[in-house]
Chain A
Amino acid sequence: MIQFKNVSKQYEGNLALDRLNLTIPSRDFFVLVGPSGSGKTTTLKMLNRLIEPTDGNIYFDDKRIIDYDLKQLRLQMGYVLQNIALFPNLNIQENIAIQAESLGWPRKDRIARARHLLTQVDLDPDQYATRMPSELSGGEQQRVGIIRALAIKPKVVLMDEPFSALDPISRKQLQDLVLRLHRELKMTFVFVTHDMHEALRLGQHIAVMRLGHIQQIGTGDEIMQHPANDFVRGFFQNEHAPQPATIQQLLNEGYGQETTGPATLTATAPVSELAAALQHAKMAVVATSQGNRSLETADLLDYLATKEAD
């Protein structure tokens, strides 16, 4: 468990973090989200002491992190960087095993561990282990970046906007990957992003930050349904959550059959209402200006699939 107690960070008169209080439960997938300058990355980097607080204390398993031996602390915390930052002079397996090497693992064990991790992220070790980082695509490099953070089985994995430089398809694949890894490995993941959509997709708990203050902490649902203030609401709506699609948009795409059955939904209702209706029935009937139309689950799935592909 990680706890921030009244943690502040001051940069030459500029307060980057203001008396932050935060608890991250063990094995949680915890996302820090906010616009730039919100202090989310500062918060993350305080955990492995890349940045030291000017005030307050941070506890890791009930012990102040400044009381840990720095090297021991860092070896318990994997770290994934935004710019991936694979060492260009080391090949893939050497990159993955760099912390293991620093711990003095025998070479055989290091290679075995690196190869095992490569298979876990669907990179063939025979093909990738001895390549140089520059020979890999951005998505492949960040896969390696992630498993490098896992190599010595840390308790906590810190990820600083790890997917922001990737294309949407790689990003989605890697989001799935970290979700899977989190499920399998039972580690605490602390993940920083400025993308609310990503936060909602990944986080078990989300802390929304702004100008060095936490605006709201909660699950994705809690934040979506009960935004604590206008900023959270605005951030959620404007930045990355477009107006939810209406049933009308589905109809405009040509889905649905004419029907004479009684309508239970209106065309201006959001798609989520259609989805709710379809949970209980095989089809739902929508009233439109040109008469009633029926929609099935298959229609909804097709529509969402084409949207996703856009």
Chain B
Amino acid sequence: MQAIWHILTTQGDDIVRAIGQHIGLSLISLLIAAVIAIPLAIILMNHQRSAKVMLQITSVLQTIPSLALLGILIPIVGIGTIPSIIALVIYAVMPIFQNTYSGLTTIDPNLEEAATAFGLSRRMKLFRIELPLAMPMIISGIRIATVMIIGTATLAALIGAGGLGTYILLGIETNNNALLIIGAVLSAILALVFGAGIDWLGKLSFKKAGIVLATLVVLIGGFAGYRKLAHPQTTLTVAGKLGSEPEILINMYKDLIQHDHPNIKVTTKANFGATSFLFKALQSGSIDIYPEFTGTVLESLVTGEKSASHDPAKTYQVAKDALKSQHRMAYLKPMKYQNGYDLAVTQQFAKKYHLKNVSDLVAVEDKVHAGFDPDFHQLKDGYPGLSKAYGLKFASVKTMEPSIRYKAIANGKVNLVDGYTTDPEVQEYHLVVLKDDKQFFPPYQGAPLMTEKLLAQHPELRPTLNKLAGKVTTTDMQKMNYRVSVKHEKAAVVAREYLKSHGLLD
């Protein structure tokens, strides 16, 4: 509870922005879906066979899992807001269409006959009789669609459209239940509020409901238009993966670029998505720069060169060349810290057996009870390779979820865990990271990635971003991560403080 309150007070602005994005995304999708579904149902109300076909189609669309649908859309329309809206519209069309159609076709035939016999025009019959009579059904269709859209819109965060899903994803990713609850509860509240709002709208007369809807459209459109117009100069979008570390980095990029080049405006998109989304976004031009790890480049972004060297400089060079030749991308110089695997023990344990390096473990291997992430336990780059390289065999090894690992070592259930070098928990639980003295773990160094095209247009970016080259030690990063993800300080503030204290910014 306290954690939730803390996040709400420190990140209030961000949360409000996420709610805004969520509402915008949902309302736009809902309006588009209604504009498609309702006229379609009206057209098809007297064509039973076509209507049945249409119902089938919309039902089939409904059964596509939302994740799969997003996946299908990415190669076609890229990532961000547009595919999210398309996906949401596809989901919302079915309940609206179905309810409108059955609302229009289940009107008492006597009323239809009366309207016909009175010589009412098609238009008047529709607007004066049929639509008002079908309205309760249409409203409930829109209601269902709204609740569904608001729920599904949380997935939009996966492909960089923002919204409350950002908090849910981030909460899952970082095992931060407070964030998860904030995201989930707020979207539930949104769904309730919108459901009630739609009920209220349904009770209004046609004219009033129309006015309310038109006002909403104008407001949203005006807001979006204003935001477009308000950014006249060159705008670069710097995005980051999920988590605190990328968010700190992109804020550093932003500060550096805007400081050196006042004509460039930088927008940051924190928690934009996972590796492949970001990379595709970079290729499609939806984003301009994002920080990527050398190890990850070799592992998943380029082909060949899989067996990475354990020398960081070599790894960077190989990654840089492969990105250039395979994707025409520019990979600027990396920072100092490495965010690779490591082994951590408690201070007590380290002191007792004088542990500094991984090779020191050999002497006490029968006293080590390890807790490993399942991936680490299996991967060639993990425990199997490590045990071969150092000739290690621990007394016992348990596999456990990444987030539980640290709790297990804090509670004394295990006395050694794997981790990432910059994990804030190292500081939080006062752990000691052992030095990989045989350089077994593949190096993961962060460096700015962008297209060659962008760098050609803005060559001034190179010297600016290279100011970070060789800066930021592993301990620096750990401390900053701790402040942002455990203490919930703002990434922008933490980033700026670092830049200032290291003379990179005045």
Identify the A interface with B (CB < 8 A).
Answer: 48, 50, 70-75, 77, 79, 81-83, 85, 87-90, 98-99, 101-102, 158
Contacts and interface: CB of A to CB of B under 8 A. Distances in A.
Contact of A85 (B110, B121, B132): B110
Nearest to B134: A89
Contacts of A99: 118-120
Contacts of A70: 119
B118 A102 contact: yes
Contact of A101 (B113, B128, B132, B133): B128
30 contacts: A48-B117, A50-B113, A50-B117, A70-B119, A72-B119, A74-B116, A74-B117, A74-B118, A79-B117, A81-B110, A81-B113, A81-B114, A85-B108, A85-B111, A85-B113, A85-B114, A87-B111, A87-B133, A89-B129, A89-B133, A89-B135, A90-B128, A98-B120, A98-B128, A99-B119, A99-B120, A101-B124, A102-B118, A102-B119, A102-B124
Interface of B: 108, 110-111, 113-121, 124, 128-129, 132-133, 135
Nearest to B117: A79
A102 B110 contact: no
B108 A79 contact: no
A77 to B, nearest CB: 8
Contact of B114 (A73, A87, A89, A102): A87
A79 B110 contact: no
Nearest to A89: B132
Contacts of B115: 87
A87 B129 contact: yes
A75 B117 CA distance: 8
B357 to A, nearest CB: 82
Given A71-B121, A85-B110, A85-B111, A50 B116 contact: yes
Question: Dominant SS at the B interface?
Answer: helix
Top 5 closest pairs, chain A to chain B, by CB: A74-B119, A79-B117, A85-B110, A89-B132, A85-B114
Nearest to B136: A89
B118 to A, nearest CB: 5
A50 B120 CA distance: 13
A71 B133 contact: no
Contact of B119 (A75, A85, A88): A75
Contacts of B120: 98-99, 102
A83 B117 contact: no
Contacts of B110: 81-83, 85
A70 B116 CA distance: 10
Contacts of A101: 124, 128
Contacts of A72: 119
B120 to A, nearest CB: 5
Nearest to B112: A85
Most A CB contacts (10 A, CB to CB) among B110, B116, B118, B121 go to B118
Contact of A98 (B108, B118, B135): B118
B418 to A, nearest CB: 68
A102 B111 contact: no
A89 B114 CA distance: 14
Contacts of B133: 87-89
Given A74-B118, A87-B129, 4 more contacts: A79-B114, A79-B118, A81-B113, A88-B111
Nearest to B116: A50
A82 B111 CA distance: 11
A48 B120 CA distance: 13
Contacts of B113: 50, 81, 85
Contacts of B129: 87, 89
A138 to B, nearest CB: 14
Most B CB contacts (10 A, CB to CB) among A71, A72, A98 go to A98
A102 B132 CA distance: 16
A77 B117 CA distance: 8
A85 B117 CA distance: 12
Contacts of B108: 83, 85
A101 B129 CA distance: 13
Most A CB contacts (10 A, CB to CB) among B110, B116, B117, B121 go to B117
Contacts of A71: 119, 121
B263 to A, nearest CB: 60
A85 B110 CA distance: 6
Contacts of A50: 113, 116-117
Contacts of B135: 89
A258 B77 CA distance: 107
Nearest to A149: B118
Contacts of B114: 79, 81, 85, 87
B460 to A, nearest CB: 66
A163 to B, nearest CB: 16
A99 B128 CA distance: 12
Nearest to B133: A89
Contacts of B121: 71, 102
A71 B133 CA distance: 23
Contacts of A77: 117
Nearest to B121: A102
A85 B109 CA distance: 9
B116 to A, nearest CB: 7
Contacts of A48: 117
Most B CB contacts (10 A, CB to CB) among A75, A77, A89 go to A89
A227 B116 CA distance: 38
Nearest to B125: A102
Contacts of B128: 87, 90, 98, 101
A129 B135 CA distance: 24
A99 B110 CA distance: 16
A135 to B, nearest CB: 17
A70 B110 CA distance: 19
B214 to A, nearest CB: 22
A50 B118 CA distance: 10
Nearest to B132: A89
Nearest to A95: B114
